[in-house]
């Protein structure tokens, strides 16, 4: 209502021309609508005739709008009710408050508009729900994420959007806090926040960055979640001006879980975009706290020929370690990541359950492919072929060959070394032992007690020698025997000096040192091969060259020829035993196409190595089989269509003479790039180039257009790992997370020392080995009561660990988490 529509005085016969109001304090003044209506509670006649549109601009306000006209300055322009209003004045209260009313009724952009833009909303006819504190029934709606299949409903969320925001965080989508997110028409909001937008945004970014860095620190350095609740840690942020305090340990756990879910979604998307086929490497490991962990790593080459390696699974394996159980767990992972049809090979060690694993998984996948309701996009072409797609870890094969060689040389093992040390502890003779066995016993004897460690250092330092300890041989650690022998040869003078001060060990003779030198020369070859396949990007293309060179080395050593002339008879007979193990795994390798396809994909080799090693009769057959497999797996239909299209484009650009000559001259048949690649010669690559682990991927990236089908094969086969070393690295870090570092030991170190002294006495008293020692069963331990026997061996376990009694626990676990100790 404009100012002209309001009467200046009251004409209803009340006899009062104005309304006198008591003055109010300025701070609490409010608009007197009774006064605005001329002192009457009745509507004016004009109010019943016409209502002026709220969108109409106030009359007489055509001039430019200044800062004083903003809603934030409104209270400065409103007159108080005690002010007199001159008749006919164009400045009136309704005009003054009109911008406020217009602002209030204007359609404001919802604050969560960014959130609803990420969801698809559809009604659910027939379903109704009642919001809290409301009697009205509303039609229920289904809310589905546009990025994935996640769903919720209005009735489930109960007007809350927290779960929707939490879900979007998994897609790395968060609310923006910039000026563009402010409601339209909210001049007051803009006026008040324009000076603080950048400050609030900076505070939000700083806090988000701080939280992200804390999570990264906790995950990267394996920090306990409770560390951020430490008063000393909290004080760091209290001392920083305006620094937000870090969140609680429970929040850390929730954030890490949410971040894992978000990374999982990103991994699925990355696999869908960049992965044509994928090779897996896996292993099962039992941690120190008796958790069976299945580790799976995926290997593939992206569309731009970049090698990719991701941890796909690292979870506790429920149930037994059987191949059937592992196959079921692995298939669930493949379904979750949507890579069933992309699986090419599985690299694992030579355990028998892995053969069952690949066979069971193949039958599961084959059954799903043949089912009528199969939704796999590449149905009918299953790349994974079970046992034929099982790549046996080459590093593990090398270790098995070495163990057979050492076993034939009677070099002893960890068990025999402990027995010998127990004899020495009782001042008894250790008997006749080989040079390698005596080195192992001596190394264990020195490292067994702090006193002997100190004695070794004092002896070495007194003679000006290096006091470094000899690395002890660990059976489960590849090449540890080689490093122990190498360390003994380097510490020959130290060993001689130390033995002079001992009466338990006989000195090493010249023949002993000669045998150790010859053995070190043999083991150095295996160490070289193991290091080669243990590279972070181990390529299966190197497997066949390693097998061929290993065969030549073993044959020369067994016959004491070439570099191995002069080997002792003990070593040559041991090498012959290792050759039998080699032939077993060479035949398994020879039956698989993946090794040979990967070999010819190295442009330095192609078929040259096969021609030399297999001879004129066998080599052509193998090469023909490789080419047929490649033609079958990578048909030329799409390639021919691309070639025809390119020829047509070239014809349009050719001159008249060139087109006439092309008709007169014989047509050149387009040959397959697979055949051209095999017919062309090998490529010479400088050694400085091959030092880069990615050089082979780079070569195929450069020649992708020249050999499109062979490049597709390179993307698939060159990603296959020759060994499961990547999983071993993963488990090495897992030992920090799931190993003894998580156990809570007794507070008094003297108690633990006494406990071990008692255990060592029982070794000698009852004649048990450390790995045979068991203590009270699970029930007795929980009740704080032991069995009648003080020590239980594995031979007695069957009569103790019955179904109602539970499993037995090892002796070291008799130190409880609260520090209570039950002595053996």
The answer to whether position 267 is within a domain reads no
The answer to whether position 479 is within a domain reads yes
pLDDT in tens, 530-546: 988 887 776 799 999 99
Identify whether residues 93 and 59 lie together within a single domain: yes
Statement: residue 48 has pLDDT above 60: no
Statement: residue 713 has pLDDT above 60: yes
pLDDT in tens, 120-167: 898 888 888 888 777 788 888 999 888 887 889 988 887 788 888 888
The residues, ordered by sequence, that sit 6+ positions from 368 with a Cβ below 8 Å of its Cβ are 340, 374, 376
Kind of pairing between the strands at 343-348 and 278-286 = parallel
Segment 756-780 mean pLDDT: 51
C-alpha–C-alpha distance, residues 482 and 522, integer Å: 9
Residue 234 corresponds to which tokens in the numbers above? 């909290």
Q: Which segments of 58-124 does DSSP mark as H helices, in order?
A: 74-77, 93-105, 113-116
Sheet hosting strand 138-145, strand order edge to edge: 119-129, 138-145, 151-153
pLDDT in tens, 717-729: 999 999 998 888 8
For the ranges 277-281, 548-552, 601-605, 769-773, which has the lowest average pLDDT? 769-773
The residues, ordered by sequence, that sit 6+ positions from 183 with a Cβ below 8 Å of its Cβ are 108, 109, 110, 111, 189
For the ranges 79-93, 312-326, 486-500, 605-619, which has the lowest average pLDDT? 79-93
Q: Which segments of 371-413 does DSSP mark as H helices, in order?
A: 394-408
Treating both helix axes as pointing N-terminal to C-terminal, what angle do 249-274 and 323-337 enclose, rounded to 10 degrees?
80
425: pLDDT confidence band, cut at 50, 70 and 90? Answer: confident
Residues 316, 291 contacting (CB under 8 angstroms):
yes
The answer to whether position 581 is within a domain reads no
Looking at 509, 543, 564, the residue that finishes a domain is 564
| Average pLDDT of every residue of the chain | 75
Overall size of the chain counted in residues: 824
Identify whether residues 755 and 793 lie together within a single domain: yes
Identify whether residues 46 and 81 lie together within a single domain: yes
The residues, ordered by sequence, that sit 6+ positions from 231 with a Cβ below 8 Å of its Cβ are none
Question: Which has more pLDDT, 575 or 92?
Answer: 575
C-alpha–C-alpha distance, residues 791 and 786, integer Å: 10
Q: Is the dihedral of CA 219, 225, 231, 235 positive or negative?
A: positive
Identify whether residues 380 and 401 lie together within a single domain: no
- Core vs surface per residue 463-499: b (16+ CB within 10 A) or e: eeeeeeebbbbeeeebbebbbbbbbbbebeebbebbb
What is the reported pLDDT for 411?
Answer: 83
What is the reported pLDDT for 154?
Answer: 87
| Domain housing 789 | 744-814
Identify whether residues 53 and 77 lie together within a single domain: yes
Residues 293, 315 contacting (CB under 8 angstroms):
yes
Match 């070190």 to its residue by tokens.
520
Kind of pairing between the strands at 808-810 and 343-348 = unpaired
609: pLDDT confidence band, cut at 50, 70 and 90? Answer: very high
pLDDT in tens, 484-528: 999 999 999 999 998 888 877 888 999 999 999 999 999 999 999
Match 């900076």 to its residue by tokens.
202
CA angle 38, 42, 46 (to 5 degrees): 75
Three state DSSP letters for 556-584: HHHCCCHHHCCCCHHHHHHHHHHHHHHHH
3-class secondary-structure state, position 644: helix
Statement: residue 275 has pLDDT above 80: yes
- Core vs surface per residue 415-425: b (16+ CB within 10 A) or e: ebbbebbbebe
Count of the separate structural domains present in the chain: 7
How far apart, in Å, are the Cα atoms of 564 and each of 310, 484, 526, 531?
42, 21, 15, 22
What is the reported pLDDT for 730?
Answer: 84
Question: Which has more pLDDT, 414 or 406?
Answer: 406
Identify whether residues 354 and 431 lie together within a single domain: no
CA 316 to chain centre: 15
What DSSP string describes 797-824?
Answer: HHHHS-TTT--EEEGGGGB-TTS-B---
Helix, strand, coil shares of the chain, percent, nearest 5, are 55, 10, 35
C-alpha–C-alpha distance, residues 599 and 662, integer Å: 39
The answer to whether position 511 is within a domain reads yes
Statement: residue 90 has pLDDT above 60: no
The answer to whether position 188 is within a domain reads yes
Identify whether residues 219 and 279 lie together within a single domain: no
Identify whether residues 20 and 56 lie together within a single domain: yes
Q: Is the dihedral of CA 563, 565, 570, 572 positive or negative?
A: positive
C-alpha–C-alpha distance, residues 803 and 824, integer Å: 24
pLDDT in tens, 201-216: 555 677 778 888 888 8
Kind of pairing between the strands at 390-392 and 774-777 = unpaired
Identify whether residues 558 and 428 lie together within a single domain: yes
The answer to whether position 269 is within a domain reads no
Residues 467, 493 contacting (CB under 8 angstroms):
no
351: pLDDT confidence band, cut at 50, 70 and 90? Answer: confident
Identify whether residues 215 and 179 lie together within a single domain: no
CA angle 558, 563, 567 (to 5 degrees): 50
Q: Which segments of 386-502 does DSSP mark as H helices, in order?
A: 394-408, 414-425, 435-447, 450-462, 480-490, 492-500
Which has the closest alpha carbon to 345: 281, 293, 270? 281
Which has the closest alpha carbon to 545: 619, 618, 604, 624? 604
The residues, ordered by sequence, that sit 6+ positions from 312 with a Cβ below 8 Å of its Cβ are 267, 280, 296, 297, 298, 333, 337
Identify whether residues 237 and 310 lie together within a single domain: no
Q: What is the DSSP letter of 80?
A: P
Segment 605-628 mean pLDDT: 93
pLDDT in tens, 680-691: 999 999 888 888
Which has the closest alpha carbon to 327: 301, 311, 348? 348
Identify whether residues 228 and 321 lie together within a single domain: no
Q: What is the DSSP letter of 542?
A: G
The answer to whether position 473 is within a domain reads yes
Q: What is the DSSP letter of 48?
A: H
What is the reported pLDDT for 579?
Answer: 94
What is the reported pLDDT for 483?
Answer: 92
CA 395 to chain centre: 23
Looking at 393, 417, 433, the residue that finishes a domain is 393
Model confidence, pTM: 0.64
Treating both helix axes as pointing N-terminal to C-terminal, what angle do 543-558 and 608-633 enclose, rounded to 10 degrees?
150
What is the reported pLDDT for 741?
Answer: 40
The answer to whether position 592 is within a domain reads no
Return the beta strands (E) in 194-253 as ranges.
none
């Amino acid at each position: 209502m404009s100012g002209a529509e309001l009467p200046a005085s009251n004409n209803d016969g009340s006899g009062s021309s104005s309304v006198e109001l008591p003055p109010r304090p300025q701070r609490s003044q409010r608009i007197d609508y009774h006064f605005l209506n001329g002192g009457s509670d009745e509507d004016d006649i004009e109010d019943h005739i016409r209502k002026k549109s709220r969108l109409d601009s106030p009359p007489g306000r055509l001039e430019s709008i200044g800062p004083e006209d903003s809603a934030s300055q409104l209270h400065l322009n409103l007159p108080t009710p005690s002010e007199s209003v001159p008749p006919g004045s164009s400045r009136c209260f309704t005009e003054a408050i009109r911008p406020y009313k217009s602002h209030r009724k204007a359609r404001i952009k919802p604050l969560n508009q960014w959130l609803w833009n990420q969801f698809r909303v559809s009604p659910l006819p027939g379903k109704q729900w009642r919001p809290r504190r409301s009697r009205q029934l509303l039609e229920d709606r289904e809310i589905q994420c546009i990025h994935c299949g996640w769903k919720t409903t209005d009735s489930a969320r109960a007007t809350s959007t927290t779960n929707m925001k939490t879900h979007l965080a998994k897609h790395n989508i968060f609310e923006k806090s910039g000026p563009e997110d402010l409601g339209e028409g909210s001049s007051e909001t803009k006026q008040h926040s324009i000076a603080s937008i950048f400050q609030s945004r900076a505070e939000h970014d700083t806090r988000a960055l701080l939280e992200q860095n804390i999570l990264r620190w906790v995950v990267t350095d394996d920090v306990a979640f409770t560390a951020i609740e430490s008063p000393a840690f909290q004080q760091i942020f209290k001392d920083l001006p305006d620094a937000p305090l870090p969140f609680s340990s429970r929040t850390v756990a929730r954030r890490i879980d949410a971040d894992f879910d978000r990374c999982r979604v990103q991994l699925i998307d990355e696999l869908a975009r960049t992965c044509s086929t994928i090779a897996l490497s896996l292993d099962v490991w039992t941690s120190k706290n008796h958790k069976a962990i299945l580790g799976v790593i995926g290997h593939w080459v992206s569309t731009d020929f970049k090698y990719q390696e991701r941890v796909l699974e690292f979870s506790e394996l429920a149930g037994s370690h059987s191949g059937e159980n592992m196959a079921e767990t692995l298939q669930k992972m493949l379904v979750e990541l949507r890579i069933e049809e992309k699986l090419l090979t599985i690299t694992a060690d030579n355990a028998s359950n892995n053969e069952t694993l690949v066979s069971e998984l193949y039958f599961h996948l084959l059954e799903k492919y043949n089912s009528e309701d199969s939704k796999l996009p590449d149905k009918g072409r299953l790349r994974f072929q079970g046992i034929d797609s099982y790549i046996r870890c080459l590093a593990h094969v090398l270790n098995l060959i070495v163990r057979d060689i050492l076993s034939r040389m009677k070099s002893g093992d960890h068990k025999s070394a402990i027995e010998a040390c127990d004899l020495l502890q009782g001042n008894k003779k250790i008997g006749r032992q080989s040079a390698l066995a005596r080195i192992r016993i001596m190394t264990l004897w020195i490292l067994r007690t702090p006193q002997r460690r100190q004695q070794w250092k004092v002896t070495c330092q007194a003679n000006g020698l290096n006091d470094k300890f000899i690395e002890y041989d660990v059976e489960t650690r590849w090449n540890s025997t080689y490093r122990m022998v190498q360390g003994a040869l380097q510490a020959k003078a130290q060993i001689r000096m130390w033995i002079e001060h001992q009466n338990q060990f006989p000195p090493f003779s010249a023949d002993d040192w000669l045998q150790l030198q010859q053995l070190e020369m043999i083991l150095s070859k295996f160490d070289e091969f193991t290091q080669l396949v243990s590279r972070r990007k181990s390529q299966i293309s190197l497997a066949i060259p390693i097998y061929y060179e290993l065969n030549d080395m073993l044959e020369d050593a067994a016959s004491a020829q070439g570099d191995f002339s002069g080997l002792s008879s003990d070593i040559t007979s041991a090498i012959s035993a290792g050759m039998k193990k080699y032939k077993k795994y060479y035949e398994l390798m020879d039956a698989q196409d993946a090794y040979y396809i990967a070999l010819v994909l190295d442009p330095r080799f192609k078929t040259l190595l096969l021609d030399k090693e297999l001879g004129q009769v066998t080599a052509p057959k193998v090469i023909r089989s490789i080419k047929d497999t490649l033609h079958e797996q990578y048909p030329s239909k799409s390639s021919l269509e691309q070639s025809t299209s390119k020829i047509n484009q070239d014809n349009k650009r050719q001159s008249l003479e060139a087109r006439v000559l092309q008709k007169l001259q014989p047509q050149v048949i387009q040959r397959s790039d697979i055949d051209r690649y095999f017919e062309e010669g090998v490529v010479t690559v400088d050694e400085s180039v091959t030092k880069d682990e990615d050089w082979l991927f780079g070569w195929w990236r450069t020649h992708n257009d020249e050999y499109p089908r062979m490049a597709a094969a390179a993307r698939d086969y060159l990603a296959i790992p020759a060994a499961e070393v990547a999983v071993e690295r993963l488990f090495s870090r897992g030992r920090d997370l799931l190993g003894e570092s998580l156990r809570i030991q007794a507070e008094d170190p003297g108690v633990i020392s006494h406990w071990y002294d008692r255990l060592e006495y029982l070794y000698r008293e009852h004649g048990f080995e450390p790995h045979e020692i068991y203590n009270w069963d699970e029930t007795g331990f929980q009740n704080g009561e032991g069995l009648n026997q003080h020590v239980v061996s594995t031979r007695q376990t069957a009569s103790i660990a019955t179904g109602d009694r539970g499993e037995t626990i090892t002796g070291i676990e008799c130190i409880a988490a609260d520090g209570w100790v039950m002595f053996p």
